[in-house]
Amino acid sequence: MKFTSTRDSSQHVNFAQSVLDCMPLDGGLYIPENFADLRKWLLYTNEKTTFSSIAGTLTSACINDEFSPIICETIATRAFPFSPKVRRLDNNLFTLELYHTPTGSHKEFGISFLVNCLETILTMTGQTATFLDVTVGELGASLARAIRGKKHLKAVLLYPRGFVRGLEESDFVWNGGNVLPIELEGSEHACHEIVREIFNDRMAVEKYHLTVANTANIGRLMPQMFFYPYAFSRLKNQVSGDIFYAMPCGNYSNMVAGLYSWRLALPLSGFICPTTDEIKVDMQGNCEIMDSIVDIKKREKADPVSPSNLERLEEIFATNSLMIKHFVYPAEVSKAATDEACRKLFKDYNVYANKSTSRAFAAALARKEMIDEDEASVVLVMRDHPALNSEYIRHTLGEAPEIPERISQALQHTTIDRPCVSTAEEVLLTMADEL
C-alpha cells in the first residue's frame, strides 16, 4: 500500500516514510492510497480469532510490499498483549470496550502499534527517531511504557509544570531510559505552541528525526482500523441485520479508521455520533461537514499537536458526495439527553458511562427510528475507562466506579526535579544536552 497526502494526490510514499516524516510538507495529512478487498477473510474470522491475529493480517494486507507476513504478525503480537472486549447488553445493543489497557485509555492501542512498527523500521534501516508530544496524562504514560527497552526510539514529552504522570525513574534519559520529560512554566496551550514552533523548524525536525505519537501520524491512526473487524468477528454469528457503530467524535480518528475498514470490504452500515461544531445535520436530516465550505488550499497546515481528522474524513467522501449521507448519521444531543442516556445505561445494563460515551448513546437513542426500521444492531464504542471521568458519572448517578489499581499506578504523579523551561529555544537546548 502506498500513502498520499490529503492536499496533493501526486505524492506517493511508502509506510515507513509516512510514519517517520509524519507531516507532509504540503500541510496535509497522510492517507492510504488504495485498499485490498478482504471480504473473504473477514467472513472467515470468528470469536476464536484473536485481536493480535486480526491486527497482524490487516497489517500485512496494508503494507505487504514492505514487511513480510511474519514480521507483521510479530509487530502485532508485541504490540497487543491486551485486547478490546465486545459485550452484549440486549438483543440489538452491544458495547465495544477499548479501555482494557494498562492506562485505561484507547490511545494505548495506537501508540503500542506505532512504536513497534517504528522500532522495526528503524532496526532495518539503522536509523533513530524521536517522538515530540505534549501530554498531561495517559499519552505520556502509554508512550513511556511502549518504548521501554527500545534501542532506536526516544520520546521528548512536554508537560505544564506539575502534570508529569505515569513515568518511572528508569524511563528518564539521564538514567539510561528513553524518555526526556520537560516541564514548562505555562499552560498546556503554551506547550502546544512550542511544539508547533519546533515542527516548523525543518532543521530541528531533520536533526532529531522528529515524529508524533498522536493521530496526525497515520501509523497511530491505522491500528484503530483493527477494532471494527474484531468487533465483526464477535458479532457475525449473533446478528443478522445491519450494524451501526455509535461513537463519540473526539478528533474523528475512530470514525475515519472505521471507514477505512469499510474500504477493506468490512460489512457495516454506518456511524452514529452527536453533532459537533464541524459535523452538523442539514435541513433534510443528512450529515454535512462544515469545514468543506472552505477550500482546502486556503486552510492552515494540519496541526502536529492537536490533529483533527476531518480532512481525512472529507477525502473519503470527496469522490462521492452522496456517500456521506449513508455512512455518517449525526444527531443533536442536549445535556439533558446525555444525562438521561448515562442513567439509562446504568439502570438497564449496569454500565458506567462517561460523558462522551453517554453522548454517543444519546445519539443512538435519537436515531432509534432509523435503527428499528432496519432491524439493526448498535455497537456503542467506549473509548476510555469510565473511572477516568468519574466526576461526571458521580454527578449524574450519585456514585462512580472505582479506578482499577493498574490504572491508578500507571497514572501516579512523577517528580522529575529538573528546571522548567518556557521557550522553544530552551526545549531545543535541553534536547541537545540530553539526547
- pLDDT by residue (tens digit) across 54-86? 999 999 988 888 899 999 999 999 999 999 999
pLDDT bin (cut points 50, 70, 90) of residue 286 is: confident
| Residue 419 neighbours by CB distance under 10 Å | 10
Read off the amino acid at residue 249. Answer: C
Tell me, letter by letter, the H, E, C secondary structure of 45-114. CCCCCCHHHHHHHHHHHHHCCCCCHHHHHHHHHHHCCCCCEEEEEECCEEEEECCCCCCCCCHHHHHHHH
285 versus 361: which is more confidently predicted?
A: 361
The whole-number pLDDT of residue 318 equals: 79
Each residue's pLDDT tens digit, 318-331: 766 667 777 899 99
Mean pLDDT on 12-33: 93
The whole-number pLDDT of residue 137 equals: 76
Tell me, letter by letter, the H, E, C secondary structure of 50-65. CHHHHHHHHHHHHHCC
Reading the block at residue 369, the C-alpha cell is 427510528
CA distances from 329 to 113, 280, 353, 363 (A): 30, 9, 21, 9
Residue 239 pLDDT > 80: yes
pLDDT bin (cut points 50, 70, 90) of residue 283 is: confident
The whole-angstrom separation of Cα 363 and Cα 423 is 43
133 versus 308: which is more confidently predicted?
A: 133
Architecture per CATH, 107-218+413-434? 3-Layer(aba) Sandwich (3.40)
Identify which of 345, 334, 342 has the alpha carbon closest to the alpha carbon of residue 395.
342
Read off the amino acid at residue 245. Answer: Y
pLDDT bin (cut points 50, 70, 90) of residue 298 is: confident
The whole-number pLDDT of residue 386 equals: 95
Q: What is the dihedral of CA 369, 373, 375, 379, to 10 degrees?
A: -40
pLDDT bin (cut points 50, 70, 90) of residue 314 is: confident
**CB distance 270 to 326 below 8 Å:** yes
Residue 307 pLDDT > 90: no
The whole-angstrom separation of Cα 377 and Cα 94 is 8
The whole-number pLDDT of residue 297 equals: 72
The whole-angstrom separation of Cα 34 and Cα 54 is 19
Burial class (CB in 10 A: 0-12, 13-18, 19+), 321: exposed
Read off the amino acid at residue 302. Answer: A
Q: Which of 122-136, 178-192, 286-300 has the lowest mean pLDDT?
A: 286-300
Residue 181 pLDDT > 90: yes
Each residue's pLDDT tens digit, 374-390: 789 999 999 999 999 89
Rg (CA), the chain: 21
CA distances from 110 to 27, 80, 90 (A): 23, 10, 30
Task: Please report where in the chains the cell 460515551 appears, as a residue.
Answer: 357
Read off the amino acid at residue 313. Answer: L
The whole-number pLDDT of residue 322 equals: 66
| Residue 124 neighbours by CB distance under 10 Å | 13
**CB distance 403 to 384 below 8 Å:** no
Mean pLDDT on 330-356: 97
The percent of residues above 90 in pLDDT, for the chain, comes to 79
Mean pLDDT on 153-172: 95
**Arithmetic mean of pLDDT over the chain:** 92
The whole-number pLDDT of residue 292 equals: 61
The whole-number pLDDT of residue 258 equals: 94
Residue 287 pLDDT > 90: no
What's the whole-model pTM score?
0.95
Q: Which of 33-37, 143-147, 297-301, 391-395 has the lowest mean pLDDT?
A: 297-301
Residue 251 pLDDT > 70: yes
281 versus 4: which is more confidently predicted?
A: 4
Can you state the angle between helices 107-125 and 69-79, rounded to 10 degrees? 140
- Contacts (Cβ under 8 Å, ≥6 apart) of 427: 156, 158, 182, 194, 198, 421
The whole-angstrom separation of Cα 273 and Cα 328 is 8
